[in-house]
Amino acid sequence: MDIPKAGTNDSRIRFVDYSANDVVKVIGRYRASTQIEFDATEEIVHVATGDSVGWEVAPAHNILFLKPREKNPPTNLQVVTVRQSGERRVYQFELRATEGDVTANDAYFLVRFRYPTDEANERQRLAALQAAQHRAAANKRAVDSTLSLHQSYGARNYRYSAQGSRAIQPDSIYDDGKVTTMRFAGNREIPAIYMVQSDGSETLIPWDARKSGELVVVHGTAKEFRLRRGGDVICIFNEGYDPVGVNPGTGTTSPSVERSVRPEPRGANR
């Protein structure tokens, strides 16, 4: 039988570890109520007591209120809860009632269940999640490092001119026939980058930042880029534009990263 342990701040607040095979002893006081608190993810679905006359019971979500009404012998109490996951838990109690002052240290105001197994499982889950996040971050850093190393694969074309607002003009720009690299030194805000089509229309083009955000690698080359931020506009002209470009032969923009296609698993739906 488990006897709830008194709390350090007030002995009338008590704690007990959950075990499906243990009976928990609860001592009530006449003219006072006792609160039983289960896990926050549980909902009470059934309550049964051996003495429904001598004890008043009132469930509310994950909390059960008890109050002795008559001076009867000890009895039992059974509680069934359902967790949000659908798991059912069953609790067994022995109920006793005594006379006494509710200010006494041995009074039961609150019995709160603790769940060491759940807490250990949650710690393991969080540790595994954190480890997975660290691995993903490390893999991303490795890929970014490789891509950065070869972002200038092949000959560089620096033949660019600009017309418009100098406030958003890149500090430098070049391409390698596959991607275009713009440099915005310091903490400059990066403007929206558009590729200008042959009919003069603009298409927002994807890019990613490297080397602490100073280098903006645009996924492609163009005869003209147009940068916008608020009312500022600047046109960037590629004076050495090569419509054919350079292909590293790997299926990616880097000679060190090769695209591979995994075979479809046997039995997969088509």
Averaged pLDDT in 10-residue chunks for the chain of 270 residues: 89 94 94 96 96 94 95 94 95 94 87 94 93 88 64 78 96 93 91 95 91 85 96 96 70 54 55
The CATH homologous superfamily of the domain defined by 5-117: Immunoglobulins (2.60.40.10)
Domain span(s) for CATH 2.60.40.10 in the chain = 5-117
Alpha carbon distance 75, 52 (integer Å): 10
Domain span(s) for CATH 2.60.40.2500 in the chain = 160-238
Q: What's the CATH number of domain 160-238, 3.90.870.10, 2.60.40.2500, 1.10.3720.10, 3.40.50.1370?
A: 2.60.40.2500
Tokens of 126: 């969080």
Identify which of 28, 174, 187 has the alpha carbon closest to the alpha carbon of residue 111: 28
At 270 the pLDDT is 47
What is the CB-side half-sphere exposure of residue 36 using CA atoms within 13 A?
Answer: 30
**Residue 262 CB neighbour total at 10 angstroms:** 5
For residue 132, the one-letter residue type is A
At 217 the pLDDT is 92
Q: Is residue 167 helix, strand or coil?
A: helix
Alpha carbon distance 270, 266 (integer Å): 11
Contacts of 177 (CB under 8 A, 6+ apart): 154, 155, 157, 221, 242, 244, 245, 246
Identify which of 184, 168, 183 has the alpha carbon closest to the alpha carbon of residue 230: 168
Contact between 227 and 234 under an 8 Å Cβ cutoff? The reply is: yes
